[in-house]
Amino acid sequence: MADVVGHSSLERDYSLTGTRSRHAVEVGLAAAEWYHSDVPRKTLKALMKRRDGPAIRDTFIWIALHFVLGAGGIYFWGTWFSVPFWFAYGVVYGSACDSRWHECGHGTAFRTRWMNDVVYHIASFQIMRNPVNWRWSHARHHTDTIIVGRDPEIAWMHPINLVLKALAFVGIYDTWQSLKVLFRNAFGELSDDEREYIPVSEWNRAHFWARIHVAIYMVVLVSVIAMLVSGSGWASLIPVLLIGGPRVYGCWHFVMTGLLQHGGLAEDVIDHRLNSRSLYMNPVSRWLYWNMNYHVEHHMFPMVPYYSLPALHEELKDDLPSPNTSIWDAYREMMGAVMKQRNDPTYAIRKELPPTAKPYKEDLHLSVPERKD
């Protein structure tokens, strides 16, 4: 089975067009029937209910913070006082955009459709994701969560490269990769994987939005050069600190929370309780992350908006493993597992379920090559 698992026992073929992808389809791991906790229809309907209010409030605060913090950074330019302003601006731009991109991509943040779309496009730009490609990749992530060869959004691929993971916190490598994709798309090219999960009818839109993003970055670059030429010195960095740069210096919070979503947990399972992590977090992180710390709950019921996830958590908690108690607690658990997975990628955390929970759904698990021995 070496051709299925990759070049060595540590490697796997995560491409969406390889042997592992075909295998997932053949054995039924692709588009499988996943486990769902039972929730009465009336309760679920109430939890799914959309309102504009919470997201309008949060978006207003989010946009206001951009202006206030950016203005503070510029006002205090050249003094140490500007540093905390840029630090906070970076997080509000470069990290909060991930959850806004995500929630508005699902169309659940606002009740009004155009509001979801506007915030989705702003946040996609901030996080340097082609808004068309990522809508489709994220749909696939929900159909085939952490199924090898099917899910294009697996953050922890084996063999795990801890240097790259550490670098992700400063965003340089990821930003470079994202810009390469945007430029490639802007020149009218899609990769094999992108062609696999984006329908042909959407390809032109993918090129169009990549061109818009690239054009804005070009304007930023030209502004920096113009300021340099006109003798603005270090202040010439301000345009890039405001636009684009925060994806590098402010992304650490979204990377920190994002890596926890599935890290150290199982691949190739069809029960989100085995491959996703819920945890409790401080209120600031929850605001930045729009409650995606309730990640098992989100994957089971993606129609529940972020502001109802705490209530969904209360509804489901007797059927789910207990959440980690903090970001620190979750990192301790995850990194312990990741260190083991570096030598044995079949290792995964298997959390104990409360006595009230239904057992894990594991019917297809032995179809996975590594689990056969």
Partner 1 sequence: MPWIDACATDDVDEEDVIRWDHGDATFAIYRSMDGAFFCTDGLCTHEQVHLADGLVMDNEIECPKHNGLFDYRTGKALRAPVCVNLGTYETKIENGRVFVELSE
Closest distance of CB 201 from partner 1, Å: 6
Residue ranges binding partner 1 (CB under 8 A): 31, 45, 48, 50, 106-108, 111, 113, 135-136, 139, 142-143, 199, 201-202, 301-303
Collect contacts of 142-146 with beta carbons under 8 A, ≥24 apart. 142/299, 142/302, 143/30, 143/31, 144/24, 144/29, 144/30, 144/31, 144/32, 145/34, 145/262, 145/272, 145/275, 145/276, 145/299, 146/262, 146/265, 146/266, 146/267, 146/268, 146/269, 146/275
- Check: CB of residue 191 under 8 Å from CB of residue 184: yes
- Check: CB of residue 312 under 8 Å from CB of residue 304: yes
Token digits for 116? 């979801």
Closest distance of CB 275 from partner 1, Å: 17
Between 144 and 268, whose beta carbon lies closer to partner 1?
Answer: 144
Between 45 and 180, whose beta carbon lies closer to partner 1?
Answer: 45
Report the C-alpha gap between 206 and 201 in whole angstroms. 10
Closest distance of CB 73 from partner 1, Å: 36
Q: Which amino acid is at 133?
A: N
Between 95 and 108, whose beta carbon lies closer to partner 1?
Answer: 108
Between 202 and 370, whose beta carbon lies closer to partner 1?
Answer: 202
Between 106 and 295, whose beta carbon lies closer to partner 1?
Answer: 106
Report the C-alpha gap between 244 and 94 in whole angstroms. 8
Closest distance of CB 221 from partner 1, Å: 31
The values of phi and psi at residue 51, to 5°, are -135, 155
Closest distance of CB 261 from partner 1, Å: 17
Between 199 and 359, whose beta carbon lies closer to partner 1?
Answer: 199
Closest distance of CB 9 from partner 1, Å: 33
